[in-house]
Structure 1
Amino acid sequence: MVVNPVVYGASERPPRGDYARASGDYTCAQDYAAYTARDHDTYRRLYERQCALLPGLASQAFIDALPALGARAAIPRFDDINDRLYRATRWQIVAVPGLIPEVPFFSLLAQRKFPVTDWIRTPAEFDYVVEPDIFHDLFGHVPLLFNPVFADYIQCYGQGGLKAHGLGACELLSRVYWYTIEFGLVREARGLRAYGAGILSSAGELPYSVQSPRPQRLLLDVERAMRTRYRIDDFQETYFVLDGLDGLLRLAGQDFAPLYARIRGLPEFTPGEAAPGDRPVPADDGAGPG
């Protein structure tokens, strides 16, 4: 079966990654021998930079789970991670050549399989890469898969994604993914913290999302999130905040079908736009340093 690459956003550049290696479900073997010494060094330097930024900015759940990722001086082998991950939460990571279509993506998540891009950015892209690479996927997403609450939420999201596809509502649900799994913030005992992978893997957006007075931060309301567009080419102008990661399971248990029907056709909000009923969260949550 021939699989086709997925274009990220409005990019005109052909997607990176060798899709000819992929099977029908878009997974492939991690070609570990293909990584160069430069690739391993890029991963090491990215890992060290992000680790130095985590205290006081990253969710404690993420900090607690990060050591389970394993190797930090070189790109880890997926099989080594899976030995630990499956024992912890019955999840596995699977290699993919890059972005994959909605239905294969949702199907893998529903099976507790998280797709991880197996190529890494070049040194010239050290500060910013257009498409998610192995560092974003491993460092940003995988540690919290060792957390049972987060792990169950991701599986429920996959199951919900398959339902949303049947209802023609993938765009609405994708915004929930964006504003939780990729760019979510959470209020913890010590203050406002990041748990979204897009934030945790970015040296610039991690302090910006938690500390900057510029972006809008709102307590998470699912309807508001579904109606809010987002940025893929700059820091976010709107973030949604959970009152504790346990809120993800309450979110996962909801039937969104009536919500899709109710809000389809309603006006959307631009990033950073205020709306009636918004519940703002300040950048400094008043709890002191983490």
Structure 2
Amino acid sequence: MTPTERTIARLPAHLRRYVVAQDYAAYTPRDQAVWRHILGQLREHLSDKAHPVYLEGLEATGIGAEAIPSLDEMNEKLSKLGWACVAVRGFIPPAVFTELQALGVLAIAADIRTHEHIQYTPAPDIVHESAGHAPIIANARYAQYLKAVGLVGFKAIASVEDQAVFEAIRNLSVVKEDPTATEEEIAHAQARLEAANASHRYISESTRASRLYWWTAEYGLIGDLKHPRIYGAGLLSSIGEAKHCLTSAVHKRPLGVACADTDYDITRMQPQLFVARDFEHLFEVLAEFESTLAWKRGGDLGLQEALRARTVNHLVLADGREVTGKVVELLPAGKDVAPGLSSALARLEGPILTSRSGQALDKPFSGAALVAFGQGTLPERGRFKLTLDSDLVLEGFAVGGGEVIDLSGTLGGRELTLPSMARLYLTERLPSVAGGPADPGTWDKWFGEMDAFTAGDGEAQARERKAQALHPSLAALYTEVRRIRETGQLAPERLEQIARASTDFPTDWLLRAEVAELRGEVPSRRETAHA
């Protein structure tokens, strides 16, 4: 097995289905030229502006300037740092990205931007994911932070609107990278994203976690407030952003938990950035942010967060069991039944999955679940009557495994409308409420769908169309230039012929820059400006 195949084999099955083969042979000579151009400029500009570990980090993680990195070579190097990487097709769900990162696995978009988008691409690509995220991992403390912030993002509760926004962003990126897309299709994709953003009822935990990630791992600065250095992947992978971010046009703010409440616009350069004192500072801010989440606080706060999210999440009970489902109703007790908990009953919409330590205890239950808060014991079988301190009274017949039928109940003497059949759980406390299913693997096995969205068909089709859009004669010129570069067999007269032939493609400045470099010339200011 190759190093990458070994990495993939170690992943849980529900994550493996988002992984694709890198297919290194599919990168065209023009793709390689795009990589060379970007990495050459980035290395030159960032040598004294990025965190000191940057240049050695490129070497330590298998990223060179001459060719698009092989994930096998990267995995050989990353394994020495306690990390690994896999190829994915463009955008993947945030929960998948954060879970991979928490496991110490970089999700690297297999595609590379076109030369038209060499300065900025609306879609994830191998430049950003490898040359941006990987180098600073060479610093052990920062590598620990990436795993920690990944776990926080994974545990944060996302809303149904967050999911709609993600799908709209992914759709827009695919459309914009497709050379056959019409103006009407692009406008429709942009309108869809605007509508998804407008649909937000509130700012979710997941959104706040993504902002924290953005202002640190993606667009973070470090060191002295007046003379900071760059460590964020978004800045390290964009020459335009890297130059702009250190100018006086960008307001530098000390990093604090307030960054999680600061929105950002991915379509333009950032007017402000946050500066961390050092990498230890990242952990201080992360700990403060983490303490506000339902994952850490549980109780009423967690229940309310899950209720308004309208998504599948999981409750952690006092005995360690985890109940996965969608919270759809809360009944208040009118008094505290435990510290931070004044709810008498929570109703979850099925399917319901019971687990412990992230491992399913049985098959999913198709009906509803009720979580009653207070001291009490449900018999394994037979008729029961439970009277809890919250003034909740439940009666019914237990048929085994926590399943009850013929259920009725009152709260403070008021008759309740309850499902006649349900899975019933009793717990004195609610230590945690966290995002997504507690056992993602089992949940995915039963309810995951391998559809076109998951498979990345949209990205694959856009990539194929990009390749088809390249004129055969232009592709042949790039191929020859790449061969000359790799063999070192410079033929001045042939380079002169290629230079003349390149004038047939006036918008393709990159080929002319490649030829000019081989001929020992300096590219024109206009051509350099495109970078």
* Corresponding residue SS for 2:249: coil
Report the residue type matching 2:229 in the other structure: R
Aligned-partner Cα distance in 2 for 1:55–1:120: 23
Query: Is residue 238 of structure 2 the alignment partner of residue 202 of structure 1?
Result: yes
Q: Which residue of 2 aligns with 1:214?
A: 249
SS in 1 for 2:133: helix
Do the aligned partners of residues 200 and 166 (structure 1) sit closer, same or farther apart at CA in structure 2, a change above 3 Å counting? closer
CA contact (8 A) 1:149 1:248 kept: no
**Equivalent position of 1:86 in the other structure:** 79
Query: In the alignment, which residue of structure 2 is the partner of 1:225?
Result: 259
> Which residue number in structure 1 is paired with residue 34 of structure 2?
42
- Aligned residue type for 1:53: H
Cα distance in 1, alignment partners of residues 15 and 156 from structure 2: 24
Distance 1:171 1:121 in 2: 27
Residue 123 of structure 1 and its aligned partner are, at CA, apart by: 1.4
- The equivalent position to 1:177 in structure 2, one of 207, 213, 227, is 213
Aligned residue in 2 for 1:242: 276
CA gap 1:98/1:204 in 2 versus in 1, 3 angstroms: same
Separation of aligned partners in 1, 2:281 and 2:48: 21
* Alignment match of 1:27 (pick from 3, 12, 19): 19
Structure 2 match to 1:100: 92
Map 1:160-171; keep pairs closer than 5 Å. 160-165=152-157, 168-171=204-207
How many aligned positions are there?
A: 239
* Secondary structure of residue in 1 paired with 2:273: strand
- Aligned residue number for residue 121 of structure 2: 129
- The change in CA–CA distance for 1:179 and 1:189 in structure 2 (over 3 A counts) is closer
Within 1, Cα distance between the matches of 2:158 and 2:241? 34
State how 1:106-121 maps to structure 2 within 5 Å: 106-121=98-113
Q: Tell me what 2:527 maps to.
A: none
Q: 1:155 and 2:147 equivalent?
A: yes
Supply the distance in 1 between the matched residues of 2:284 and 2:137 (Cα, whole angstroms). 17
RMSD of equivalent CA atoms: 2.4
Structure-1 residue corresponding to 2:164: none
* Partner AA of 1:48 in structure 2: G
CA distance in 2, matches of 1:130, 1:23: 24
Distance 1:165 1:259 in 2: 8
Asked whether the equivalents of residues 217 and 241 of structure 1 are also in contact (C-alpha less than 8 Å), the reply is yes
Runs of 5+ consecutive residues of structure 2 not aligned to the other structure: 1-13, 160-203, 295-300, 306-531
Contact 1:182 1:199 in 2 (8 A): yes
Per-residue Cα deviation, 1:10-54 (whole angstroms, up to 9, x for no partner): xxxxxxxxxxxx975411121111111111111111110111111
The CA distance in 2 between the partners of 1:25 and 1:158, in whole Å, is 19
- Tell me the equivalent position of 1:75: 68
Query: How much has 1:71 moved relative to structure 2?
Result: 2.8
Shift of 1:63: 3.0
- C-alpha displacement of 1:127: 1.7
Kindly provide the CA deviation profile for residues 128-173 of structure 1, in whole angstroms up to 9, marking residues without a partner as x: 2111211111111111122211111111112111221379510000
Following the alignment from structure 2 to structure 1, what is the Cα–Cα distance between the partners of residues 17 and 147?
17
2: CA distance between counterparts of 1:92 and 1:24? 14
CA distance in 1, matches of 2:248, 2:152: 34
TM-score, scaled relative to structure 2: 0.42
d(CA) in 1 for partners of 2:242, 2:45: 8
Letter in 1 for 2:261: R
Aligned equivalents of 1:246, 1:63: Cα separation in 2:
21
1:247-285 residue CA offsets vs partner (Å, 9 max, x unmatched): 223344446242676xx9xxxxxxxxxxxxxxxxxxxxx
CA distance in 2, matches of 1:55, 1:84: 21
Larger relative contact order, structure 1 or 2 (CA cutoff 8 Å, min sep 6): 1
The residue type paired with residue 82 of structure 1 is N
Report the AA paired with residue 87 of structure 1.
K
Q: Is the Cα–Cα contact under 8 Å of residues 256 and 285 in structure 2 kept in the other structure?
A: no
Q: What letter matches 2:255 in structure 1?
A: L
2:63 touches 2:131 (CA, 8 Å); kept in 1? no
Question: Are 2:63 and 2:130, in contact at CA under 8 Å, matched by a contact in 1?
Answer: no
Matching residue's letter, 1:241: V
1:160, 1:199 → 2: CA distance? 23
1:63 lines up with 2:98 in the alignment: no
Amino acid aligned to 2:232: G
Please tell me whether the aligned partners of residues 57 and 194 of structure 1 are also in contact (alpha carbons under 8 angstroms).
yes
Deviation at 1:104, TM superposition (A): 1.0
Q: Is the 8 A contact 1:57 1:207 kept in 2?
A: no
Is 1:181–1:197's contact at 8 Å kept on the other side of the alignment?
Answer: yes
Residue range with higher mean Cα deviation, 67-76 or 135-144: 67-76
Distance 1:236 1:256 in 2: 25
Deviations 1:225-256 (A, max 9, x none): 11111010111012010011222233444462
Distance 1:45 1:165 in 2: 40
SS of residue paired to 1:60? coil
| Partner-residue secondary structure (3-state), 1:41 | helix
Amino acid at match of 1:246: E
